[in-house]
Amino acid sequence: MAYTIGILIFDGAEEMDFVGPWEVLAAAVEGKTGERVLTVAPDARPIVCEKGMRVIPDTQFDEAPALDVLIVPGGSGARREIGNPATVEWLRKTSGGCKWVTSVCTGAFLIAGSGIADGRRMTTHHLFIQAFREMKRADVVEGVRFVRDGNLVSAGGVMSGIEMSLWLVNELYGPETVERTKSYIAYDFPPRTSIEGLPAEAD
């Protein structure tokens, strides 16, 4: 089965939150027939990211294909997009058909704010844990690199988003692809600090 992986981008998206996973996943699918990694934005105009990088999205909401995997980055724009009905509606509609729905850093706010994570375990950047708890939408976990609750996976920050992406590569394509991807990006994974203490998957 070929997978279509979509990475949501929007004004104020944190660059490494989506570029890191994009690099990992694009390296993983290289040479695999039919696999796609796409950036998806509300419309076709260039996106201005948190630090000023400008990105032209591959596709937009009304033209995007069905996705198997969705990645939502953080950045100040992630919190603002909670107030964008078009983004919230697209997330709700798209996430229902996904094998995996993931967030990096404060992208967790946008997923939770869209109402697709109510009562499920999530994490976010360590500096935003209390604010995330105050949303009262997710069961917030701290002190971990990433958390899986069913098909929802959330990573704590920039580098943990890369680690989560490598974990996702293993789930989608297996350990051989992980090893090839690790070699290409010159990354030592699993990290030297143990991730064995991750909370168990929710029932």
pLDDT, one tens digit per residue, over 41-79 is 999 999 999 999 999 999 999 999 999 999 999 999 999
Q: What is the pTM of this model?
A: 0.90
Assign 41 to helix, strand or coil. strand
Q: Which numeric CATH code is attached to 4-185?
A: 3.40.50.880
Assign 128 to helix, strand or coil. helix
- How many residues does the structure list for the chain? 203
Residue 198's pLDDT band (cuts 50, 70, 90):
low
Closest CA to 25 of 38, 42, 10, 41: 38
Give Rg (Cα) of the chain. 16
CA distance 28 to 21: 10
CA distance 124 to 60: 26
CA distance 153 to 198: 12
Residue carrying the six token digits 């996705």: 67
Average pLDDT over residues 165-177: 96
Domain ranges of the chain: 4-185
Burial class (CB in 10 A: 0-12, 13-18, 19+), 184: middle
Tens of pLDDT along 9-27?
Answer: 999 999 999 999 999 999 9
Assign 46 to helix, strand or coil. coil
CA distance 149 to 16: 24
